[in-house]
Amino acid sequence: MPAYFAYGSNLNMEQFARRCPGSRPICRAVLKGYRFAFRGHGHADIVRDRRGEVWGALYEITESDARALDRYEGVPTYYVRVDVFVEDDQGEVRPALAYKMAPHHRTAEPSLGYVLTILEGCREWGLTPDAEVDEALRDRARS
């Protein structure tokens, strides 16, 4: 099974360990050709953008973890599995499994708690939050 590319709230190590107890964090990674967005019910998504990039993390996961993620992510109606290639923080290109929202979902504003979970995951992995996360947090703070 390829590694799993986590972004959004799945960067939060404690939360991810509860969802996927057989997982093991590997390293930071970047997915090129996509941008980060909030869609559906205000959840994280990756959207094709040839100039974009989304920073996240790679986890080693078991088949059981992958099935648990499928259930949690609402495959195939809310998210769908996609095979991607990411570049790890050592410059190595690796195959990975990722989740992308089903195409019928529209842009939506996230909850403050959700954004804070993402920011905690970014801090744990030493990542700078994507512009969309930053903007969502500023918008929520103004409300």
Domains detected in the chain: 3-142 (3.10.490.10)
CA–CA distance from 15 to each of 18, 59, 97, 106, 143 (Å)?
A: 5, 13, 18, 25, 27
**What's the pTM value of the predicted model, to 2 decimals?**
0.91
**pLDDT string in tens for the chain (143-residue length):** 779 999 999 999 999 999 999 999 999 999 999 999 999 999 999 999 999 999 999 999 999 999 999 999 999 999 999 999 999 999 999 999 999 999 999 988 899 899 999 999 999 999 987 777 777 666 655 55
118 touches 63 (CB < 8 A): no
